Structure 1
Amino acid sequence: MVDPADGQRTRFLLLYALAVAGGAVAYVPFLTILLPVRVEGVAGARSIEWLAYCAFAGAIAASLANIAFGWLSDITRNRRGWIAGGLVLSSAMLLALTQARDLPMLIAMLVVWQIALNMMLGPLSAWAGDVVPDRQKGLLGGLLAFAPALGAVSGALVTIPGLAAPDERMAIVAALVVACVAPVLIFGRPTPFPELMQPHEEPPLPDPHQPRRIVARMWLARLLVQVAEAALFAYLYLWLRSISPEIGDNDAAKVFGLVLFLAVPATLSVGRWADRADRPILPLAIAAGVSALALLAMAAAPGLTAALVAYAVFGLAAGMFLALHTAQTLRVLPRPQRRGRDLGVFNLTNTMPSLIMPPLTLGLVPVFGFGGLFIALATLAALACLLLGTTRIPR
C-alpha cells in the first residue's frame, strides 16, 4: 500500500482501474460484435445502413448523457451513487436488448442503454480527479491502459464457439461488468485529498486565460489522435487485406490484441517516469509524434511485414497517448466543482471521431488509396504533437 501522505492507496487505484476496465467490457464487445450480429439478424440486407443509424444515435446519446450525468454528480457530490445506478440500469438494459424484435425498438433500447451506461461512466471518470493527486496521475494513466486490453479480451471470450447462445452472450457481458465495477463501490475507500476539490489559483496577469488555453489544447490534441485511432480501428483489416489478400480476420485480431497488451507495461513505465520527473505533458507530445511517424511508415509500407511493424508502433504510441491523456486531463481542469461536466465535454473527443472519420475516409481512400488516408492522419497526429509540445503547465 502507498502511504496516504504520499499518495492514494494502491488498493483503490487497482480497484478503480478494474472498474474503468469494466466500462470498456460494457461497450467494446457489444458495439463491435454483439450489436452488429443482432442488427444483421433483424435487418438482413439493410444491416450496414441500420448499423450506421445505430452508431449515430448511440454516439449522440452517449455524448449528451456523459455531460449530463457528470454534471449531476458534480451538483449532488455523490459519484458513487450515480455509478451504482448506472451499473444496475445499463446491465438491465443489456439483458432487455435481447427482446428487441424490430429495428425501431432496437435503436430506442440502444439509446436508453447508452444513457444508462454513461450514468456510470461520467461520474466514474470524475471520481479519479477527486481522489488521485497530481503526483500519481502518470501511474493512474498506466493503470487505465488495462481497459482497452480487457475490453478486447472480453470480446474474444464471449464469442468463443459453443460457449453461449447470442442472447446468453449479453448476460455474460453484464455479469463481467458487474464483477469489474462492483468491487470499487463496495471495497474502495479512497483517502481524501481536500486540496483536489479546491479551484486552481488564477495565474497572474498578463495571461489570466492560460488555464483555458491549456484545456483547449489538450482537448483538440486528443480529438486529432482519436480520429487517427478510430480510422485504424475501423479499417485495419481492409488495409491489411489490400496489402496481402491471404491475411484473415483472426490474424488482424491477433495483431490488434497484441498491441493492446504491449501498451499496458509500456504505459505504466512511462507514466511512472512522468510522475517522478514531473513532466506530465512531454510523454503525450512524444507519443503523438511517434504516432505521426508510424502513420507515414504505414503509408509507405512496401509489404505486409513492414505494415504490421508500422501499425504496431502506431498502436503502441496511440494507446499510450490516450491512457496517459485521460489521467493528465484531470490535472488541468481548473474547476473541480464542475469536473464531471468538463470531463463530459472531453468525452466528445471519443464520440466525435465516429462522425468525422467516415467522410474523411470516403473522400480520400477512393482517390488516393490508404496511403493518402494515412498521410492525412499523420498530419493530424503531428498537429497534436505540436500543440502539446508547446504547452507548459504551471508548477
Structure 2
Amino acid sequence: MSSLKLIRPRGPHAATKDPKQRGLMLLLLVANASMLAVYMGVGAVLLPTQIAAIDPANKVAVLGVVGGVSAVFATAFNPIAGALSDRTGRRNPWIIGGALASLAGLAFLGNVHTALLVGIGWCLVQATMNVYQAAVTAVVPDRIPAARRGTASALVGLALPIGGTVGVLIASQTADQLTMGYLVFGAIVAGAAVLLTTFCRDVPRPAPAPAVPRREQFAAFLSALSHHDFRWAFIGRALMVLGYFSVVGYQLYILDDHIALPAGMNPAAAMAVLTPVSMAAMAVSTVVGGMLSDRLDRRKVFVGVSAALAGLVMAVPVISPTWTGMLVFSALNGLAFGCFMAVDTALVTLVLPRAEDAARDMGVLNIANAGPQIVAPFVASAIVTGLGGYTALFLVGGALSLVGALAILPIRSVR
C-alpha cells in the first residue's frame, strides 16, 4: 500500500449533520449542473453557431483557435483559484464571485460580432467559470466522508446529464437569439451560486500557513504530481478528456458536414435530440457506477472499463455515419463517460495527498480536465482539415480514450 493519506471528514460538517448542511448534496447537484449547462450549452451550441455566422468558410479553424486559447485561461485559473480558496480558508466568496463575473462575461459575449471579440469573451467566461468550479469542486473532499465518496460523486455526477441536457435544450431554442441565450446561462449559474452560498455555510478551516517564497509555492502547487497514484489518475483523466472533447467539441459541425440527418432536421435540432439520449444514459451509469463502486469497494475496474468502452464506441459513426449511428453512439458514449466521471472523481478524492490542500490539489487535477481542452481544438481542427475529415477524428479520439483506460492500472492505493 502507498503511504498516501485518505481524506477524512473533519468535524460535523463533513458528515452533513449541521442543519444548514442537510441540503448540501442537492445544492452541489444544482451548482455543478448550472456550470455544465454553461459549458455544454454555450460551448457546444451557441459558440459554434456564433462563429459559423461570423466566418462560415473558416468555422472549423476559428473554433479551434478560440477553444484552444480559452482553455489556457481555464487551465490557469482553476488551480490558482483553488489554491487561493485554500489560502483564505473559504469557498463561498470564490463561488459567488466567480459566478457573478461569469454573468458579466456571458453578457459581453452575447453582444459582440467579430471573431476576435468572441475569443476574448469566451476567454473571460472560461476564466471566471473556473474560479467558480475550483471552489465548488473542493466542497466534496471538504465535507463528505471518504466512505460515501462514490455515492456523493455519483449524485454530483448527475450534474453532467442534467446540466448538459438543460444547457443544450436552452441553447437550441435560443440559437437564433444569441444575446438572450447568453444572458439566460449567466442567470442560471449566478442563481445556483446564490443558493449554494446562502444555504450552505463555509466549513471552518485551519489558519493559513505563513507566506513562503514563490519558488517554494510553485513547487508545492505541483507537489501532488510527485505522488505515484495521483500522477496516474491525472494521466488517465487527461487522456480520457482529450479523446472525448476532440470529438464532442465539434459535434455541431459533425452533424452539419458528416452525418446524413433526416429531412427537415437541422444540426441544432439534432443536438436537442442526441443530447437527452446521451445524458439519460449518462445519468443511469453515473448512479449505478458510483453506488456499485461503493458497495463493492472497487474503483479501478469501473474507471478502466468505462474508459475502454468510450474508446471503442468512437468506431460507430465511422462504420455508420447516419442518424441511427449517431443515436447509438450517443447512448453508448453517455453510458461510458457517465460511469467514468462518477467513479473517477471518487477515486481521485481517495488519492489526494493531503486534506489541507484539497482544493489546490483538485485544482491541479482539473488541469487534466482543462489542459486537454487546450490541445483538443487544435488537434481536432488539424485532423479534420488535414487528415480527411471527421472519420479520422473519431478514430484518434477513440485511441486516446483506450490509452487512458490503461493508465488506471498502475494505481496501487485504491482497488
Question: What's the offset of the Cα at 1:355?
Answer: 3.8
In structure 1, the residue matched to 2:333 is 314
Question: What's the offset of the Cα at 1:105?
Answer: 4.3
In structure 2, the residue matched to 1:270 is 289
In structure 2, the residue matched to 1:326 is 345
Looking at structure 2, the residues matched to 368 and 264 of structure 1 have their Cα atoms a distance apart, in angstroms, of 34
Candidates 93, 98, 106, aligned match of 1:81: 93
Looking at structure 2, the residues matched to 7 and 294 of structure 1 have their Cα atoms a distance apart, in angstroms, of 39
**Pairwise mapping of residues 65-144 of structure 1 onto structure 2 (< 5 A)?**
65-100=77-112, 102-144=114-156
| Cα contact 2:91–2:135 (8 A) shared by 1 | yes
In structure 2, the residue matched to 1:198 is none
In structure 2, the residue matched to 1:19 is 31
| Cα contact 1:69–1:123 (8 A) shared by 2 | yes
In structure 2, the residue matched to 1:386 is 406
Q: Which amino acid aligns with 2:245?
A: A
Q: Do structure 1's residue 337 and structure 2's residue 356 form an aligned pair? A: yes
Consecutive aligned runs of 4 or more in structure 1 exceeding 6 Å deviation: 190-194
User: Matched residue of 1:388: which SS?
Assistant: coil
5+ residue gaps in structure 1? 195-208
Looking at structure 2, the residues matched to 133 and 334 of structure 1 have their Cα atoms a distance apart, in angstroms, of 16
Looking at structure 2, the residues matched to 188 and 371 of structure 1 have their Cα atoms a distance apart, in angstroms, of 47
Candidates 156, 168, 180, aligned match of 2:169: 156
Question: What's the offset of the Cα at 1:321?
Answer: 0.7
Closer/same/farther in 2, CA of residues 80 and 212 from structure 1, 3 Å limit: same
Task: Note the alpha carbon deviations across 1:297-333, whole angstroms, 9 max, x for none.
Answer: 5544597645642442133112221233233312211
Q: Which amino acid aligns with 2:80?
A: A
Question: What's the offset of the Cα at 1:215?
Answer: 0.9
| Cα contact 2:16–2:143 (8 A) shared by 1 | yes
Closer/same/farther in 2, CA of residues 294 and 158 from structure 1, 3 Å limit: closer
Question: What's the offset of the Cα at 1:158?
Answer: 4.7
**Pairwise mapping of residues 142-221 of structure 1 onto structure 2 (< 5 A)?**
142-149=154-161, 150-160=163-173, 165-189=177-201, 212-221=227-236
In structure 1, the residue matched to 2:9 is none
In structure 1, the residue matched to 2:244 is 229
In structure 1, the residue matched to 2:215 is none
Tell which deviates more after alignment, 378-387 or 121-130. Answer: 378-387
| Cα contact 2:73–2:123 (8 A) shared by 1 | yes
| Cα contact 1:237–1:252 (8 A) shared by 2 | yes
Looking at structure 1, the residues matched to 225 and 281 of structure 2 have their Cα atoms a distance apart, in angstroms, of 36
Closer/same/farther in 2, CA of residues 44 and 361 from structure 1, 3 Å limit: closer
Question: What's the offset of the Cα at 1:336?
Answer: 2.5
Question: What's the offset of the Cα at 1:69?
Answer: 0.6
Closer/same/farther in 2, CA of residues 299 and 185 from structure 1, 3 Å limit: same
Tell which deviates more after alignment, 80-89 or 98-107. Answer: 98-107
Question: What's the offset of the Cα at 1:233?
Answer: 0.9
User: Matched residue of 2:244: which SS?
Assistant: helix
Count of paired positions: 377
Aligned CA RMSD, in angstroms, stands at: 3.5
In structure 2, the residue matched to 1:257 is 276
5+ residue gaps in structure 2? 1-11, 207-223
Closer/same/farther in 2, CA of residues 59 and 293 from structure 1, 3 Å limit: closer
TM-score, normalised with respect to structure 2? 0.78
| Cα contact 1:365–1:373 (8 A) shared by 2 | no
